[in-house]
């Protein structure tokens, strides 16, 4: 069975003081839950918090990662951060291809392909995000869009053991609308099929595919109960320790069941 991963994307939220308080609270709550040692827990704060967060999580099981990276190793790229700089912080994961990067910053698959290789080439794990817009879904193009986001970015040269995929329907991110468990499972199945064509079935069966899009304590158990949903990428709910740990608890309960 794939070990679940619950990842929190803090986006552009949290000062240092807020971050320390949140981590302390999450850590205390995790200590009171059964089965959380069977779940990987990751937080992805803004770049400025990575160094202090390395210290704040040092004695806890919480891992930390970055929300983005530049594809080049160094150079005249004002405002950007390279993967080697991220490695300096001790972080283990990097999110690439988040829909906000696609929609608000105009980044495209060719760039994500380079970022994925920069991250995995440096020995870090990439969480590569895919997902359709509402217009895509209503136009019956979900499979086509997601397949393209996968095949234009993920090739057999990407180390599969450093790859996590996150399916995040754009219409469900930060909107309070969640894909039904059946809708999410259907797309996760397609993504696993795509991974099997790129790698092979045994490799595809090892890669974790997270669901993201308004995951909350109230819907986490049902989503995580689906065969191809191996965890969650959580936005809003990860900023509230009670909610984030309740989602982790749902993943732990699945493992204990």
Q: Which residues are catalytic?
A: 98, 168
**Closest C-alpha among 136, 140, 197 to residue 168:** 136
Under the binding rule (CB under 6 A), the answer on residue 233 touching ligand PEP is yes
Options 4, 131, 169, 236; binder of ligand PEP; rule CB under 6 A: 236
Q: At what angle do helices 241-256 and 217-224 cross, to 10 degrees?
A: 30
Q: Give the shortest CB-168-to-ligand PEP separation in angstroms.
A: 5
Q: Give the shortest CB-104-to-ligand PEP separation in angstroms.
A: 12
Residue 72: CA atoms inside 13 Å, Cβ hemisphere, count? 7
**Closest C-alpha among 175, 187, 73 to residue 119:** 73
Q: Which part of the chain contacts ligand PEP (CB under 6 A), choosing from 79-87, 221-229, 235-243, 246-254? A: 235-243
Q: Which part of the chain contacts ligand PEP (CB under 6 A), choosing from 45-53, 179-187, 191-199, 210-218? A: 210-218
Nearest residue to ligand PEP by CB is 235
Buried b (16+ CB within 10 A) or exposed e, 205-237: eebbbbbbbbbbbebbbebbebebbbbbbbbbb
Q: Measured between alpha carbons, how far is 112 from 173 in angstroms, rounded to an integer?
A: 20
Under the binding rule (CB under 6 A), the answer on residue 131 touching ligand PEP is no
CB neighbours of 26 closer than 8 A, spacing ≥ 6? 41, 43, 62, 241, 244, 245
Under the binding rule (CB under 6 A), the answer on residue 168 touching ligand PEP is yes
Tokens of 233: 């990428």
Which residue, 65 or 199, has its beta carbon nearer to ligand PEP?
Answer: 65
Options 212, 219, 223, 249; binder of ligand PEP; rule CB under 6 A: 212
Which residue, 198 or 214, has its beta carbon nearer to ligand PEP?
Answer: 214
Under the binding rule (CB under 6 A), the answer on residue 235 touching ligand PEP is yes
- CA-CA-CA-CA torsion sign (41, 45, 50, 56): negative
Taking CB under 6 A as the criterion, which residues in 170-209 touch ligand PEP? 173-174
Under the binding rule (CB under 6 A), the answer on residue 213 touching ligand PEP is yes
Q: Give the shortest CB-147-to-ligand PEP separation in angstroms.
A: 21
The answer to whether 168 touches 136, Cβ cutoff 8 Å, is no
Q: What does the binding site for ligand PEP look like in residue numbers (CB under 6 A)?
A: 9, 168, 173-174, 212-215, 233-237
């Amino acid at each position: 069975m794939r070990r679940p991963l619950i990842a929190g994307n803090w986006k552009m939220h949290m000062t240092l003081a807020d971050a320390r308080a949140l981590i302390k609270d999450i850590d205390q709550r995790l200590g009171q839950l059964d089965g959380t040692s069977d779940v990987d827990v990751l937080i992805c704060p803004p770049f400025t918090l990575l160094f202090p967060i390395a210290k704040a999580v040092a004695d806890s099981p919480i891992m930390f990662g970055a929300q983005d990276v530049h594809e080049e190793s160094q150079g005249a790229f004002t405002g950007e951060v390279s993967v080697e700089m991220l490695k300096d912080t001790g972080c283990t994961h990097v999110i690439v291809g988040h829909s906000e990067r696609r929609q608000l910053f105009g980044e495209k698959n060719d760039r994500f392909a380079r970022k994925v290789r920069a991250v995995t080439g440096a020995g870090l794990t990439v969480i590569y995000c895919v997902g359709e817009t509402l217009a895509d879904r209503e136009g019956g193009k979900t499979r086509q869009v997601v397949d393209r986001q996968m095949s234009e970015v993920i090739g057999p040269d990407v180390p599969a053991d450093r790859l996590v995929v996150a399916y995040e329907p754009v219409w469900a991110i930060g909107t309070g609308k969640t894909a039904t468990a059946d809708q999410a499972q259907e797309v996760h199945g397609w993504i696993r099929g795509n991974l099997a064509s790129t790698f092979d079935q045994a490799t595809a069966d090892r890669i974790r595919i997270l669901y993201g899009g308004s995951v909350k304590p109230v819907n986490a158990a049902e989503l995580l109960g689906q065969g191809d949903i191996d965890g969650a990428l959580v936005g809003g709910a990860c900023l509230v320790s009670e909610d984030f740990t309740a989602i982790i608890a749902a993943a732990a309960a699945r493992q204990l069941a």
